[in-house]
Amino acid sequence: MTQTVQTSEQEIGQDIFLTSNAAKRVAAIAEKQAKPAILRLSVEGGGCSGFQYRFGLAEQIEPDDIAVIESGVTLVVDEISLDLVRGSAVDFVESLGGNAFQVTNPNAASGCGCGSSFSI
């Protein structure tokens, strides 16, 4: 189990990357909660399309995590979830419908209207 830390969007585009907008939001949340600026993305079974994204602040990078860094913020994904989100971009979007982290996943065959679940 190896840990990969990549530091530029060009290098990490093949696995997963965090946009600068999402990094700014994670940094603000982490500072407010006095936690490390580490965002964990995982994929779980469920949701209206079969799989759903889960986001949360992590205390540390686990041994089986793939970690990418953008603007001093780390995005971590476990190896199993990475198979489902490889090539994805994690962004933070603000709209009239609300503010949320959003995954643009090239592997998703379909998704639901809420944007938090998908199928392969």
**pLDDT reported for residue 118:** 45
pTM: 0.77
Residue pair 120/50 in contact by the 8 Å Cβ criterion: yes
Residue 74 CB coordination number (10 Å): 22
The pLDDT value recorded for residue 95 is: 79
* pLDDT at 47 (0 to 100): 59
Tokens of 96: 């009239």
**Which pLDDT belongs to residue 111?**
54
The structural domains of the chain, ordered by start, are: 4-107 (2.60.300.12)
According to the model, what pLDDT value does residue 94 have?
86
Distance of alpha carbon 53 from alpha carbon 39, whole angstroms: 12
Cβ–Cβ < 8 Å for 53, 29: no
Hey, is 81 helix, strand or coil? Answer: helix
Mean pLDDT, consecutive 10-residue segments, the chain of 120 residues? 39 72 96 95 76 90 92 93 90 84 77 50
